[in-house]
Amino acid sequence: MHTLTYAVLDTETTGFYYDRGDRLVEIAAVKIRDGKIVPEDNFQSMINPERSIPLSASRVNHITDEMVASAPKFAEIVDEFEKFLADVDYVFIHNAKFDLSFLKAEYARCQRALKLPKVVCSVELSKAFYPELRTHNLNAIAKRFDLEIKEGELRHRALGDVILTGEVILKFYEENPLIFLGSLESLENREFCG
């Protein structure tokens, strides 16, 4: 783990269905270098979804129409986002299929193809390391490792969730150092990236 650069990525959206018009409202990523989260080496942006945010989504992610009204559109931040990931070997995304479906849709709107470093879903990584566990959501995994779950604005916000996911990834490595990289290689770019 100490020789590679990792990023943890998360998005927040207006809903669950990119194919029904739901859009990104926030994106964040943080880097892990030398086996440590580097909180100051992060990318975070609110995104104007060019549509209203349903109350049901705002209740979860605490993001309102007022907060994104003057935010940039995705097309305005895509180059900076790609630059942030340029030196990354692996990107961890919790429930990667969901986030990647929204990212692909946003890239398509920009008439670009989504190109990321090797992607590993941290849910799938959890299942590989701990198949005996019944649930692999972020709260359950964090609780298993006695990690502090910051409720309120930090939980279900992209930057707060990437830091928590990063802490989980480091715990995965601590408990599985001999098989960690091999597990990443076997899980990278699964069907959710196709």
Active site residues: 156
DSSP 153: T
Q: Which amino acid is at 158?
A: A
CB 105 within 8 A of CB 18: yes
CB 93 within 8 A of CB 10: yes
Helix axes 158-175, 122-129, angle to 10 degrees: 30
Helix (H, G, I), strand (E, B) or coil at 127: helix
DSSP 190: -
CA-to-CA distance for 158 and 152, rounded, in angstroms? 12
Render the burial of 105-116: b for 16+ CB within 10 Å, e for the rest: bbbeeeeeeeeb
Shortest CA distance to 165 belongs to which of 152, 149, 151, 179?
149
Helix (H) or strand (E) holding 27: strand 24-33
